[in-house]
Structure 1
Amino acid sequence: MSSSQSPLAPEPEVGLRANVLGRFDSMVMAVAGSAPAYSLASSTTLLIGAAGLYSPAALLWCAIPMLGIAWAFNYLGRLDVNAGASYSWVGRALHPSLGFIAGWSLVVSALIFMVAGSLPAGQYTLSLFSPNAAANTWACVGVGAAAFLTMALLVLLGARITAHAQWIMTGIEVVLLVVLGVTALFHGGSGAHFQWSWLWGFGHFGGMSGFAGAALIAAFYFWGWDVTANLSEETSNSKRNSGLGGLVGVLGVFVVFELFTIVTNMLIDQKDITPSTPVMTVIGDAVGHGWGGKALVLAVVLSTVATLETTLIQVTRSLFAMGRDHTLPAIFGRTHHRWRTPWFAILVIAVVSLALFVAAATIGSVGTIMGDAVAAIGLQICIYYALAGIAVVVAYRKVVFKSLSNAVFVGLWPGIGAAFMVFVFVEAIPTLTTRRLAIGLGAVAIGLLPLAWYWYKGSAFYTDPPARLNAALMPEQASGPNPQVVMETGS
C-alpha cells in the first residue's frame, strides 16, 4: 500500500464490484427480467387480439429464434465480459457505430418500459384495495412512481441487495403462477376445448404481416432475460454463469407463458376478451373463487416491481459502459465510491422516467399507453437482438464449421434468430400507427446525435476501437455448446 493512501480512505473508483452474483442469482435475474406474470397480464389481450386461439403458436415460434439469440449472448459473453453486453459485442464484432445503436436501442426501450412497467404496477397494486382507484391513470402514476423509486434505490445499493430482493419477489411469483396455472388446466370455463393446432398455428395468422404483428408482441413477452449479460462484470465465473442464466430464463418463462395462454383459451371465450379484460384475475377467480384472483394480482405486482429493478440494471449498466468508453459523457461511467454502482446513470434514469410518467398520463388510459409501449419496445429489441445474432456468427466465423455443435449453436441457430428479428421488424412496420412508429423508431434515431458528436470529438471507441472479436484467436477454440474460451487481448 502506498504511504499516501490511508487504510481508512474510501475505496477508489475502479468500476463495478466483481463476483457478487453466482449461477443461481443469474438464473433468478433472467426469469425476473422476463417478468412472466407482468408479461401475461399486460400483453395477453394484445396477443390474442393479434393471433386469437393460436397465441400459443406465436409464442412457440418466437421462443425458438429467441433461444438462438440467447445462445448468441452465451457465446459472445465468453469472448468479452462487459457490462455493455450487445453494445460492446456488436461494436467489436461488426462496427463501433452499430454497437452504439445496439446499446442505444436497449437504453430507449428500457426508458419506455419504465412507463410500461410502472403504470401497471400502480394499477394492479390499487386493484388489490380499490378497483375504482385502479381506473384512475394519475393514481396509477403516483403509486407506480413510488414503486419505481424504491427499486431505483435498491439498484443504487448494489447487485447483491438486488439479487436478495429478487429471490423473494420472483420466488413467490413463480410459485403462484405454477400452482394456479396447473390447477386452472382442470377447471372448466366458457372457452374452447384444447386443440394441438393451437401450438402450430400454420395458416391461421392472417398471412406474413399478421404473423409478424403477433411475433412482435411475443418478443416483448420474452424481453429482459439478457439482464444477465449486463451483470457479467459483477458475476462470478461470468463466462459460464451469465450465458447459462439467460438460456434457463428463456426456457423457464416460455413454459409459463404457454401454460397461461392455453389456460386463457380454455377458460375465456374469445369474444369476451377485450383490451381491458383482466385476464389474470379471471383465471385466478376460476380457480380460487375470489382468493385466486387476488393471488395472481399479487404475482403481477411482484413481477412488475421485479422487472422494473432488472430493467434499471440493464439500462444503467449500458450507460455505464458507454460513459466508460466516452461515447456518452464520462460521468455516466463513474461508480459510487461505497456501493460501486453507476450512481449518475441511476439518477438520470430516475429523473427522465418520472418526467415520462407525467407525459404518458396525458396520452390516455393505461391500456392505450401499454399498446403503444409494447409495439415500440418490440421494434427496438428486434434491432439489438438481430445485431447480436449477426455479431456472434461473425465473431465465430472461422471456427463455426470445426464441429457440428459449433455449426448449430454459434452459426445456424443464432443466425435464424437474427433473421427472424429482421423479418419481424420489417413486416411489422407497415402495420403500426404513426404514433407507435414515432415512439419506436424516433427514440432510436435520437441516438444518432450522441453517436455523431462523440465520433466527431474523437472518442477512441470509434477512432481506435478495441481488438475485433475473433474466436479463432482464442487460446482454446470454441467447441460444443459450452466452449472453453477466454477474452481476446490486444490493442
Structure 2
Amino acid sequence: MADDVKDTLPPPPSSHSREGPGELKHNAIGFLDALVIGINSTSPAYSLAAVIGSVVALVGVYAPGVVLASFVPMLLIASAFFYLNRVDQDCGTTFSWVTRAMGPWAGWFGGWAIMMTGVLVVGSLADVAVGFGLLTVGLDSWASNDFVRQLLAVLVILVMTAICVIGTEASAHVQNVLILAQVASLLAFAVVAVHRVYAGTSSLGGVEPQIGWLNPLGAGGGALTAGLLLGVFMYWGWESAVNLTEEVKNSASAPGRAGIWSTVILLGTYLSVTIAVVAFAGPAYLAENASEEEFIFASLAGQVLGGWDWLVLLAVSTSALASTQTTIIPASRTGLSMARRGALPAALARIHPRFHTPHVSTWAVAIVAIVWYLVVSQISENALLDSLTALSLLIAFYYALTGIACAVYYRRHLTESVRNFLLIGVGPVIGAVLLLWLLVESVIDMSDPANSYSGVSWFGLGPPLVIGIFIVVVGLLIMFARRLTSDGFWHERPGVCDPDLARGTGSRSGTGPGTGAGADRNGSGGP
C-alpha cells in the first residue's frame, strides 16, 4: 500500500529549481507582492460599497461588530490554508489538499467551486470598475448606458486577462499601483468622516463612535446571521495569494502568511471605514438608502469629501479593476492543477513557453466569464446581482471543505502539541462548522424568491439558489464525464501528511510540474 500511495501522491517541485518548459515560473514574486494580490482579490473598496448599506439596514450601529464577527471564520480558514500549503505547494490549493485528505471526488468538487466563483464574479467586477470609472471622470450618461458599459467591461476583462498571461510579475506590478489608490482613498474617506463627526460638521445624522458597536450580538441572532452571510462575501478572495504558491519565493511559508495577513489587514480596513460610515451618516440614513447597494459610497463621498468625492469613486473603480484581474488567478491556477492531474482536459494544463503562465486555463476562465456576464445581463441587472448572491454558497462550501481537510490530513499530528491541536485541528474545524451553518442558512434564505434581488420565482425558488443548483448539476455532469474518459486521478487514495513536513523538518525533492506533497513516507495512506 505504501508504494501505491507514493505513486499516486508524488513529491512537490523544488522551489529552488529552474522551471522546465511545462512549469510555472518559480520565485517570480515575493511575500509583499503575494500579500497585495491577496488583499486586492477581495476588492475591499467595492466589497464595502456593495454591502455596507445592507449590513447597516440589518443591524444598525452594530455593523462594525458584524464585520468583526465575520473575520473569525476567515482567520480560522486562513490558518488551514497556511498549514496545508506548508506540506503541499500546489497552485490548485483546495482541489489538491482535499483530494489528498478526503479523496478525488471531494477534491474535484472543491476545485470546481473555486473555478465557478471566478466565472460568476469577474464580469460583475469589470462592470463595476467601468461604471465607477466613468462616474469618476464625469461620464454619467455612459455609465447608465448598458451597451457602452458592457462593451467596456468586456474590454477590461480581456486586458486584465492578457496581463495575467504576460506574467505573474506584470500582474504584481499592476496590483501594487491599484492597492495604493484604494488604501489612500479609503483612509482619506474614513479620517475626514470621523473628524467631521467629532467637529460637529456632519451634514447627516452623525453620531460619535462607541465601543458597544463592536458587539455583534447587539442586533439579535437573526440579523447577525444575515449580516454574516454578507461578511463572507466581504472577506472572500484573500486565498489568491496561496494559489500563486508555485510562483512565490519561500513557497512553503510565504503564500500562507500572505493569506493570513491579508485577512488581518482587511479587518482593520473594514472596521475603520464601517465605523466612519455609521458615525458620519447615522443608521437612519443608511437604512433608507440600503437599496442603492454599491452606489451608497457615491452618495456619501460628496457629503464627506465635497469636491474630492472622486477619490472614493476612484477607490471603488480601482478596487473592482484589481479584483477583476486577481479573481482570474485562483480559477485559472485551479484549472491548471486539475488538468495536469487528469481531472480536467489536458489542454488546460498547457503553460506558455515564454511567460510560464497557464495561458489556456486563464483564457478559458475569462471567455466563460464573459459569456456568463453577457447572458445574465440580458436577463436583467438584478439577475446579475442574483448570480453574485449565489457566490456565498460556493465560497462557504470550498472554505469549509478546506478547513475539514486540514484537520483530516494532519490527523496523526494534532496531539503532538497544543499549537497543532488548536491551530491545525480545532480552529479550522470551527471555521468550517460556522461556514457550513451559513451555507445552510443561505440555502434556506435563497429558497424564498422574495429574498432575491429580482424578487421573481425561478422554478418556485429564488434565482440565486437556482443558479447554485445549476452549477452543481453541471459540475456533476462534467465530473462523471471525466471519470468515464480518464482513469488515473480517480484512483488516488486519501493519505496523511509526511511527518517530517508536518513538523517543518522535511526536505522537498522532485521537479515534475503539478506534483504535491507525498503521503507519509512510512506508507500511511489510510486512516
CA distance in 2, matches of 1:156, 1:273: 40
Unaligned residue ranges in structure 1 (runs of 5+): 1-10
**Shift in alpha-carbon separation, 1:283–1:87, aligned structure 2, 3 A:** same
Q: Is contact 2:193–2:277 with CA below 8 Å preserved after alignment?
A: no
Q: TM-score, with normalisation over the residues of structure 1?
A: 0.91
1:474 corresponds to which letter in structure 2? P
SS of the residue 2:442 aligns to: helix
CA offset digits 1:219-243 (Å, max 9, x no partner)? 0111110001110111111111000
Q: Does 1:280 align with 2:297?
A: yes
Structure 1 segment 58-457 matched on structure 2, within 5 A: 58-128=66-136, 129-188=138-197, 189=202, 190-193=204-207, 194-205=209-220, 207-208=221-222, 210-268=223-281, 269-276=285-292, 278-291=295-308, 293-365=309-381, 368-369=382-383, 371-432=385-446, 433=449, 434-457=462-485
CA offset digits 1:258-284 (Å, max 9, x no partner)? 112222212222343232263223343
- What is the alpha-carbon root mean square deviation over aligned residues? 2.0
CA distance in 2, matches of 1:417, 1:161: 34
Match of 1:5 in 2: none
Deviation of 1:182 (Å): 2.3
Q: Does 1:35 align with 2:43?
A: yes
CA distance in 2, matches of 1:142, 1:476: 49
Q: How many percent identity over aligned positions?
A: 27
1:389 corresponds to which letter in structure 2? G
CA distance in 1, matches of 2:70, 2:495: 30
- How many aligned positions are there? 469
**Shift in alpha-carbon separation, 1:98–1:486, aligned structure 2, 3 A:** farther
Q: Does 1:13 align with 2:21?
A: yes
Q: TM-score, with normalisation over the residues of structure 2?
A: 0.85
1:410 corresponds to which letter in structure 2? I
Q: Is contact 1:379–1:441 with CA below 8 Å preserved after alignment?
A: no
CA offset digits 1:8-28 (Å, max 9, x no partner)? xxx963221111011111111
CA distance in 2, matches of 1:421, 1:44: 21
1:54 corresponds to which letter in structure 2? Y
CA distance in 1, matches of 2:62, 2:325: 32
Deviation of 1:458 (Å): 4.0
CA distance in 1, matches of 2:333, 2:502: 29
Deviation of 1:328 (Å): 0.9
Deviation of 1:286 (Å): 3.2
CA distance in 2, matches of 1:61, 1:14: 43
CA distance in 1, matches of 2:390, 2:441: 14
CA distance in 2, matches of 1:385, 1:235: 22
CA distance in 1, matches of 2:291, 2:163: 33
CA offset digits 1:448-480 (Å, max 9, x no partner)? 112112223343221135x6242xx322543xx
2:75 corresponds to which letter in structure 1? L
Q: 443-452 or 302-311: which moved more?
A: 443-452
Q: 90-99 or 49-58: which moved more?
A: 49-58
Q: Does 1:460 align with 2:488?
A: yes
Match of 1:489 in 2: 518
CA distance in 2, matches of 1:212, 1:461: 39
CA distance in 2, matches of 1:67, 1:271: 29
SS of the residue 2:413 aligns to: coil
CA offset digits 1:185-240 (Å, max 9, x no partner)? 122332352233321131514x34x4332212110111110001110111111111
CA distance in 2, matches of 1:485, 1:311: 33
Deviation of 1:485 (Å): 5.4
**Shift in alpha-carbon separation, 1:426–1:271, aligned structure 2, 3 A:** closer
Match of 1:4 in 2: none
CA distance in 1, matches of 2:50, 2:78: 23
Q: Is contact 2:57–2:287 with CA below 8 Å preserved after alignment?
A: no
Unaligned residue ranges in structure 2 (runs of 5+): 1-18, 450-461, 509-516
Q: Is contact 2:192–2:305 with CA below 8 Å preserved after alignment?
A: no
Q: Is contact 2:134–2:143 with CA below 8 Å preserved after alignment?
A: yes
Q: Is contact 1:78–1:486 with CA below 8 Å preserved after alignment?
A: no
CA distance in 2, matches of 1:394, 1:192: 49
CA distance in 2, matches of 1:331, 1:236: 27
SS of the residue 1:337 aligns to: coil
Q: 172-181 or 220-229: which moved more?
A: 172-181
CA distance in 2, matches of 1:346, 1:457: 23
2:151 corresponds to which letter in structure 1? G
Q: Is contact 2:290–2:296 with CA below 8 Å preserved after alignment?
A: no
CA distance in 1, matches of 2:507, 2:116: 31
CA distance in 2, matches of 1:53, 1:442: 37
